[in-house]
Structure 1
Amino acid sequence: MDYIRLLIADDDKEIRELIRTYLQRENYEVDTAADGEEALRLCDQYNYNFILLDLMMPKLDGIEVCRRLRQKTNVPIMMLTAKDQEMDKVIGLSIGADDYMTKPFSVHELVARIKAQLRRFMVLGSSENIVQRERSDDLLRYKGLLIDIRKYSVKKNGEEVALTAKEFELLKFFASHPEQVFTKTQIFRQVWSSEYLEDDNTVMVHIRRLRLKIESDPSHPSWIQTVWGIGYKFVGEKDES
């Protein structure tokens, strides 16, 4: 990762500058935006590797910016929210945000989460050596579902399915451990590379969103099944062809 460019969008100048200072210490190129419209203009101008969006911004809020960005990019997006914005967190995750943090937050934890997102999105997505070290076979084949780990792509019945980076990581994790039951905490630790699970919404919303994309009937899922009182498991018939 020789050149990494990040965007920080927040209407609070002190927060923008604080985060930028810490990220520049990690040798990242960092741009900032004070409102949602400026954030979108910058995204049209530059190719970012990570985007941090404050939920409440003038002109366009973080949810609307995230929604528009998800129409054209799968770059990792994290939302900054206030503690009393529970429903907005769920909405943000449901339209494509990969993660969120509540204010006030630890800058050190924020930087750690950003670095984890970048590793998974850039290194696992582009480095064949790392992927092959995790799994010698680049393809996970199930009847009706093909997951190409090296290309970060998924096909359902031969048709390409557009997933965000976090949705792909979630599906890859499940499909790599068929029939194994995982709790929400276990899933969070494996997919989000963190020991800290703020609440159940992060995992639940991402699973709900993934089901909408890969399940024929999301209300009665056949791939990612709920194990009541415990968590979730992946069920699928291996395709040996």
Structure 2
Amino acid sequence: MNAPSRTATDPYEPRQQSVALVDDDRNILTAVSIGLQAEGFATRVYTDGETALKALIENPPDLAIFDIKMPRMDGLELLQALRAHSALPVIFLTSKDEEPDEALGLAMGADDYITKPFSQRLLVARIRAILRRSEFARSQTGDAAPHETPETIARGRLELDPARHQVTWAGQPVSLTVTEFLILEALAARPGVVKSRNQLLDAAYSEDVFVDDRTIDSHIKRLRRKFRAVDPDFGAIETLYGAGYSFADA
């Protein structure tokens, strides 16, 4: 007896993950899009930031890749505008002479960056690592077995719900990227314990993603800025110079 064929709406069929590409270089868009489609991703391409912003807000993909240098609205401006509406995972494509932009992009909430020229294998590995973290963070409590459901972490005025990827400070919501959330979770899980940059990298990045440990500094600055937007006196993330960071349970 033949097995019934599956349709696009079959609940057992794995959902195809989508990646949006934003770059004014059509050759790069075409090459990267074809490569990602060969790896099973659905892709959308945009040649300017303004058009992309509207589409990313109205119909968000699973992840977006931005070139930094674009006319009219560059990648940094696009990320800044997007972060006012969404914590969508974002990877930057940068040139070797754009190191200050890389640091700024991470400080603004980008999840990763890749320097041109890059290999397709590296790009796919980074995408999959970020999507794994993102899927876990967005997973709902009802989707996991009881013993697998992460518990809500309450530390003073902080409340962090890993199952729903929700964070509040003194009752006020704080929107975090996946990487920022995982760093904060690692710190808040053991208040007062100093975590080194390498330990925080291990918590926030997969083993197949390699970034400089100073990347953590940019994420910490971004976290502090976001919390101070709702509480100017926020000081729960403390620095122990030469050692790392800790969370003060106050």
TM-score class, shorter: 0.7 to 0.9
CA-based RMSD: 2.3
Using the TM superposition, give the Cα deviation of residue 154 of structure 1 relative to its aligned residue in structure 2, in angstroms: 1.1
Aligned to 2:134: 121
Aligned to 2:184: 171
Aligned to 2:88: 75
- Write the letter of the residue equivalent to 1:96: G
1:59 pairs with 2:72: yes
- Write the letter of the residue equivalent to 2:181: F
Q: Runs (4+) of structure 1 moved beyond 3 Å?
A: 127-134, 194-198, 215-218
Aligned to 1:101: 114
Aligned to 1:38: 51
Secondary structure of 1:6 counterpart: strand
Greater Cα radius of gyration, structure 1 or 2 = 2
- Number of residue pairs the alignment of both structures matches: 234
Using the TM superposition, give the Cα deviation of residue 177 of structure 1 relative to its aligned residue in structure 2, in angstroms: 3.0
Q: Distance in 1 between matches of 2:51 and 2:115?
A: 23
Using the TM superposition, give the Cα deviation of residue 25 of structure 1 relative to its aligned residue in structure 2, in angstroms: 2.4
Equivalent residue runs for 1:193-232 within 5 Å: 193-194=206-207, 196-214=209-227, 216=231, 222-232=235-245
Aligned 8 A contact 2:187 2:246 in 1: yes
Q: Distance in 2 between matches of 1:116 and 1:127?
A: 20
Aligned to 1:146: 159
Q: Distance in 2 between matches of 1:130 and 1:231?
A: 33
Aligned 8 A contact 2:180 2:223 in 1: yes
**TM-score, structure 1 normalization:** 0.86
Using the TM superposition, give the Cα deviation of residue 119 of structure 1 relative to its aligned residue in structure 2, in angstroms: 1.3
Distance change (3 Å), C-alpha of 1:93 and 1:178: same
Identity %: 34
Q: Which of 176, 181, 187 is the aligned partner of 2:200?
A: 187
Q: Distance in 2 between matches of 1:52 and 1:148?
A: 27
Aligned 8 A contact 1:131 1:138 in 2: no
Secondary structure of 1:57 counterpart: coil
User: Mind listing any 5+ residue stretches in structure 1 that lack a counterpart?
Assistant: none
Using the TM superposition, give the Cα deviation of residue 17 of structure 1 relative to its aligned residue in structure 2, in angstroms: 2.2
Q: Distance in 1 between matches of 2:129 and 2:140?
A: 15
